[in-house]
């Protein structure tokens, strides 16, 4: 395995200073896949770990070009970020000896290209003490809920802005917004952002919302969590009160691997937007509530819940209508998700969640088992997938 340095553009959080270890080895350790370090290119799998380096940057392109000319074949790796389809297509078409492995999942649950190897690395990294610390609470109380849901959104992104706008826009019976009535955090942007073009594609449906959301780029203020844990790159934790004081974890997952195209609804004669390469990006945001035995619902990529099910993790379709999961328009999907999580009163949730025999509690236990039992469908699938990727790489053009 051959590495690049941060001076060459790599942006990896937890590589050793002596460059003798990197993310992929920690991942193989957790999966139980045997490997050896080799200084012989002929006997090794060259892995170029770029970390969080932006996939549309000049440095990324330079690393790809240098790697393609240096190695007979190699893997460009990010265990931290997903890459967008247009970049993936361009690299694979331009360089026939380059394999790409990012922190994503299969496009439409199928192998998209023999040299594109997406892998949901965060499942593994959450269990790797060599990479980070994950703080969980084995026994949360189910009789202390004061709010319907929590929705924790740190650092500004367009997807978070959309969901936060929706939660601020929708009112409860008491005429408060869903933000005010629940445990919701948000960070305003610290840089200039242009979200108007995306939001305005919803204008024919709700012009007032579009004005509200676009104005919110300037007017929305930070909302912080009471008694929060200190943020550190290598620590994944939420305070216990987040899970005990709320009934549901409403999760805003990243859509940074997505690309969209404008559409035209000929029947209603309005413009729209559709996701054209939906691939679930599964991060600690979704994994932590399951580890802490908390019911969850995700605003993420289209078909996110379906993808989780392929790993043996059961969505809470006994509580929510997951029809929104196939909705390609991210703004429509945000409204549908918010309406689902808000459709019951808090007493309904509390009665179900406090009952150890309810279907919801049984799913909570089952999903927790799938995460922590190393012989579960999740871990068998992850191990087999990585072994297949590495075998296919070694066999390619040999």
What are φ and ψ of residue 263, in 5° steps?
-125, 170
State how far the Cα of 17 lies from the Cα of 220, in Å rounded to an integer.
Answer: 40
- Show the tokens assigned to 39: 């200084």
What string of pLDDT tens digits covers the 398 residues of the chain? 545 655 666 655 545 555 556 788 899 999 999 998 877 787 789 999 998 888 889 999 999 999 999 999 999 999 989 998 889 999 999 999 999 999 999 876 678 899 999 999 999 999 998 888 888 998 899 999 999 999 999 889 999 999 999 999 999 877 899 999 999 999 999 888 888 888 988 888 899 999 999 999 999 999 998 877 777 777 788 889 999 999 999 999 988 766 666 666 676 666 666 665 668 899 999 999 999 999 999 999 988 999 999 999 999 999 999 999 988 888 999 999 999 999 999 999 999 999 999 999 999 999 999 999 999 999 999 999 999 999 999 999 86
How would you class 18 by CB atoms within 10 Å of its CB: exposed for 0-12, middle for 13-18, buried for 19 or more? exposed
User: 3-state DSSP: the chain helix, strand, coil percent, rounded to 5?
Assistant: 40, 15, 50
- Show the tokens assigned to 345: 């009163």
What pTM value is reported for the model? 0.90
Q: What is the DSSP string of 376-388?
A: SHHHHHHHHHHHH
């Amino acid at each position: 395995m051959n590495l690049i340095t941060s001076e060459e553009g790599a942006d990896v959080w937890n590589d050793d200073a002596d460059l003798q270890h990197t993310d992929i080895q920690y991942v193989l350790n957790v999966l139980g896949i045997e490997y050896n370090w080799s200084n012989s290119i002929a006997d090794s799998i060259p892995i170029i770990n770029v970390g969080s380096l932006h996939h549309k940057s000049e440095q990324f392109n330079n690393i790809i070009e240098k790697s393609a000319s240096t190695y007979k074949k190699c893997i460009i790796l990010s265990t931290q970020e997903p890459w967008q389809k247009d970049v993936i297509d361009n690299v694979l078409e331009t360089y026939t000896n380059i394999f790409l492995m990012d922190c994503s999942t299969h496009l439409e649950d199928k192998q998209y290209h023999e040299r594109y190897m997406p892998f949901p690395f965060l499942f593994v990294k959450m269990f790797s003490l060599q990479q980070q610390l994950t703080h969980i609470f084995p026994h949360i109380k189910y009789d202390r809920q004061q709010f319907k849901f929590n929705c924790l959104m740190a650092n500004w992104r367009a997807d978070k802005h959309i969901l936060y706008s929706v939660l601020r826009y929708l009112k409860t019976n008491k005429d408060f917004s869903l933000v005010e009535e629940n445990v919701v955090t948000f960070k305003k942007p610290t840089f200039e952002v242009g979200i108007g073009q995306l939001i305005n594609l919803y204008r024919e449906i709700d012009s007032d919302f579009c004005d509200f959301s676009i104005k919110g780029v300037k007017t929305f203020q930070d909302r912080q969590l009471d008694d929060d844990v200190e943020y550190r790159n290598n620590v994944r934790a939420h305070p216990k009160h987040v899970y005990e004081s709320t009934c549901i974890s409403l999760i805003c997952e990243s859509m940074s691997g997505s690309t969209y195209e404008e559409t035209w609804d000929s029947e209603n004669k309005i413009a729209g937007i559709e996701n054209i390469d939906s691939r679930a990006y599964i991060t600690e945001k979704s994994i932590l509530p399951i580890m802490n035995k908390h019911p969850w619902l995700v605003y993420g990529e289209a078909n996110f819940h379906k993808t989780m099910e392929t790993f043996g993790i059961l969505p809470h379709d006994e509580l929510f209508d997951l029809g929104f999961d196939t909705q390609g328009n991210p703004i429509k999907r945000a409204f549908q998700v918010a309406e689902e999580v808000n459709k019951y009163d808090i007493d309904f949730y509390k009665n179900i969640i406090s009952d150890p025999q309810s279907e919801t509690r049984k799913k909570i236990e089952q999903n927790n088992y799938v995460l922590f039992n190393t012989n579960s469908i999740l871990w068998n699938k992850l191990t087999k997938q990585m072994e297949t990727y590495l075998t296919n790489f070694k066999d390619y053009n040999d």
